[in-house]
Amino acid sequence: MQQLLQSHFGFSEFRPGQEQVVTAILNGQSAAAIFPTGSGKSLCYQLPALCLPHLTLVVSPLLALIQDQINFLKSKGIAAASIDSAQSREEANDVMRGVRTGEIKILMISVERLNNERFRQFIAEVAISLLVVDEAHCISEWGHNFRPDYLKLPRYQQELNISQTLLLTATATPKVIQDMGSKFGILPENVILTGFYRPNLHLAVKGVRSNEKIDVLSHWLQSRLNSSGIIYVTLQQTAEQVAAQLSARGIAAKAYHAGMSSDVRQSIQHEFMSGGQGIIVATIAFGMGIDKSDIRFVVHYDLPKSIENYAQEIGRAGRDGGESDCLVLANGDNLSTLENFVYGDTPEPSGIAVVLKEIKKAASNSTGSANPQWEIVLNSLSNQSNIRPLSLKTLLVYLELLNIIKPTYSYFAEYKFKFLIPEAEVVEYFKEERRDFIRALFSTADRAKIWSSVNFDALNQHYASDRQRVLKAINYLDEKGMIELQSKQMTQVYQVLDSQFDEQALTVTLSSRFSDKEVSEVARINELVALFTSTQCLSRQLAHYFADEQMIQDCGVCSACRGEPAIFPPALYVKPLNEYDFHQVCSAAVVKLGTACTPVLLTRFLCGLTTPMFTKLKMRSCPGFAQFEKYRFADVKSWATTNLPGMAML
């Protein structure tokens, strides 16, 4: 291990925790590395990958994070690659060839890649030594970035016969740590925590009125103009505004957010990484995968979403060990915005009922079958039920946990191909039975001028063959450059385990579960406010929140320790809701929504929250949209509930 550490990575010794994790992996055990941001979690799989006999498969939540890791590994002479949607067909095929031959030791993918039938068919044929789950807190419903697709990873581990798993995260509470470990059967002694506290980060929270923020920030930056730093904001338009205001004051700052084109974002990121641009004003779209060691400050111009998000974002500062400042400009003005994001994700009972009816319908259409199946296209079901796609995925996971449905497989409903060499040449490439099969595959395809679509049913009538053989054949032809293959319309197939459920009772149960999650998320915001307004040591509270019991003394340098606890200024005045004319504000929306209009749906409209139905009806252009975005969701809902019945009678 020491030799590899020196020869490949240029380090003479391990950082805290690394050697324990690497040893566990090389001893054939699974492990979890819970280290602070920038503490070298990645080495815990990179070094073992050089020793393990087969592929190391790394699942990561973000493309930028994957690309950053690939570049680092290649710079160290380690054969690593990724498969992602940004690649050309030729690039993806080259990677697959490298994986098959064993030339590539580390393959990095997003968790969504495992929903791809073609990819699963390919990876099932590859021997895998280690599954690495980056940002592993995403697997826990109690984590701050819960992603339902992560819940499928234990099943994929079993299906792909991967004997070992390594979980990596920087931000996990005790509850999340226990949840992660149990899902992958990791022994408690192989869960390695190195402590959360980093003494080089100086935390400060300052209560500032919204209209004074830019003045306070400009003054604070004057002594830091030659340093690299990130200023985090909540909204894209705020990023543009703050960057422009700072530039007007002679402080060179650039905005960065997901609304920009990919080329512009990459250019700004490159400038920042190379030192050409010192200050970035960004939404949280900027940060994941940013491995710049000399970031000297992180400012939160708006409140972060949660303590976990705050910890992750300040963790990007001072990775070189140098002194770094982390400032929050705090007030309660955007608390309503943060809360409203939570309410926007909660499905209405009527939407849940639509999904349950579809399950019953699928089961009744499979009368006589021992294993009735339910096929869905996520976006279509999202539009039909008016439930956001991520919330719909969560609902489907809840139904799995209640043993109502069981995921079996997913597939693309359509496979299209066009010939890159004459069809006759492709057929003649094969001999005997294989030639007959390929000829039947082509002859039964649905033909258009250039593209043809595989017709599985027609093929099966003329030439008995299972779906997997067809997929293997068309993927092979694609890899060989004989055809160009395209696949679309992802269809997920579930087995209906229980179709005798009580629709009404189950709707109430599921609605209650989402309500509990809603309460939990709002409580998370309140925990954040409690931390920032506390008179106790900020660093010590943060460490304990993340299961670090090693910090038993106050840091002495945070704003609370210095006797400067944050006091939130009084909230901005907003006109009482009962002084608004309900008919004047809401009539256009009520008419446009028609019979679908409910107090909750109207509240989402008034608070500026989007739903699939709003997109379809173009509600953003309707008068009144987002008029009450500064108000609390619960207050607007109460106002709408009181007034809507009276309007319906007019």
Domains of the chain, with CATH numbers? 2-193 (3.40.50.300), 196-374+503-572 (3.40.50.300), 411-494 (3.30.70), 577-648 (no CATH)
What Å distances lie between residue 14 and 40, 143, 244, 315, CA to CA?
9, 29, 44, 20
* pLDDT at residue 426 in the model: 94
- Rounded distance between C-alpha atoms, residue 463 and residue 434, angstroms: 11
Query: Rounded CA gap, 346 and 348, in Å?
Result: 7
How does pLDDT run across 446-464, given as a tens digit for each residue? 998 899 999 988 998 888 8
Question: Mean pLDDT, to the nearest integer, of 248-263?
Answer: 89
Query: Does the pLDDT at position 173 exceed 50?
Result: yes
Mean pLDDT for 385-392 is 92
The percent of residues above 90 in pLDDT, for the chain, comes to: 55
Is the pLDDT at 68 greater than 80, yes or no?
no
Provide the 8-state DSSP code for 150: G
Q: What residues form DSSP beta bridges with 254?
A: 280
98 or 401: which leads in pLDDT: 98
Lowest mean pLDDT among 54-63, 404-413, 597-606, 630-639: 404-413
At residue 285, the pLDDT reads 65
* Least confident interval from 79-88, 354-363, 549-558, 636-645: 79-88
Q: How far apart are CA 342 and CA 607, in angstroms?
A: 12
Instruction: Give the number of other CB atoms < 10 A from CB of residue 285.
Output: 16
The mean pLDDT of the chain is 89
Say which residues have a Cβ less than 8 Å from residue 579's Cβ, sequence separation at least 6. none
User: What pTM was computed for the model?
Assistant: 0.74
Judged against a pLDDT cut of 80, whether residue 427 lies above it is answered with yes
Q: In angstroms, rounded to a whole number, what is the distance separating the alpha carbons of residues 29 and 51?
A: 14
Contacts of 475 (CB under 8 A, 6+ apart): 118, 121, 122, 485
E-strand stretches of 421-465: 446-447, 452-453
Express each pLDDT in 474-531 by its tens digit: 988 988 889 999 887 788 888 899 999 999 999 999 999 899 888 888 888 899 999 9
Closest CA to 285 of 308, 311, 258: 258
CB 407 within 8 A of CB 492: yes
Q: Contact 109/82 with Cβ under 8 angstroms?
A: yes
pLDDT over 60 at 288, yes or no: no
Determine the pLDDT at residue 412.
79
pLDDT band at 191 (very low <50, low <70, confident <90, very high): very high
Grade residue 176 by pLDDT with cuts at 50, 70 and 90: confident
Residue 222 or 343, more confident:
222
In Å, how far from its chain's centre is CA 207? Answer: 31
Q: Shortest CA distance to 536 belongs to which of 559, 516, 519?
A: 559
Coil, strand or helix at 291: coil
Q: Is the pLDDT of residue 646 over 90?
A: no
DSSP state of 294: T
pLDDT of 3 reads: 87
Query: What local confidence, expressed as pLDDT, does residue 273 receive?
Result: 87
Helix (H) or strand (E) holding 342: helix 335-344
Question: What's residue 144's pLDDT?
Answer: 63
Give pLDDT, residue 142. Answer: 63
Going by pLDDT thresholds of 50, 70 and 90, the confidence category of residue 649 is: very low
Cα torsion angle, 376, 379, 385, 391, sign: positive
pLDDT interval class at 65 (50, 70, 90): confident
Give the least confident one: 148-152, 478-482, 503-507, 642-646.
148-152
CA-based radius of gyration for the chain: 27
Q: Among 85-89, 116-120, 267-271, whose mean pLDDT is lowest?
A: 85-89
The region of weakest confidence among 257-261, 287-291, 319-323 is 287-291
Write the single-letter amino acid at 7: S
* The pLDDT value given to residue 593: 93
The Cα 104–Cα 82 span in angstroms is 10
The owner of tokens 């080089």 is 200
DSSP-assigned letters across all residues of 383-445: HHHT--HHHHHHHHHHHHHTTSEEEEEEEEEEEEEEESS-HHHHHHTS-HHHHHHHHHHHHTS
Better-scored residue on pLDDT, 366 or 219: 219
Distance CA 584, CA 606 (A): 13
SS3 133: strand
Q: What is the mean pLDDT of residues 5-11?
A: 84
CA distances in angstroms from 70 to 25, 77, 81, 109, listed in the order given: 21, 11, 6, 11
The tokens for 222 are 């004057």
Task: Give CA angle at 252 (248, 258), nearest 5°.
Answer: 95
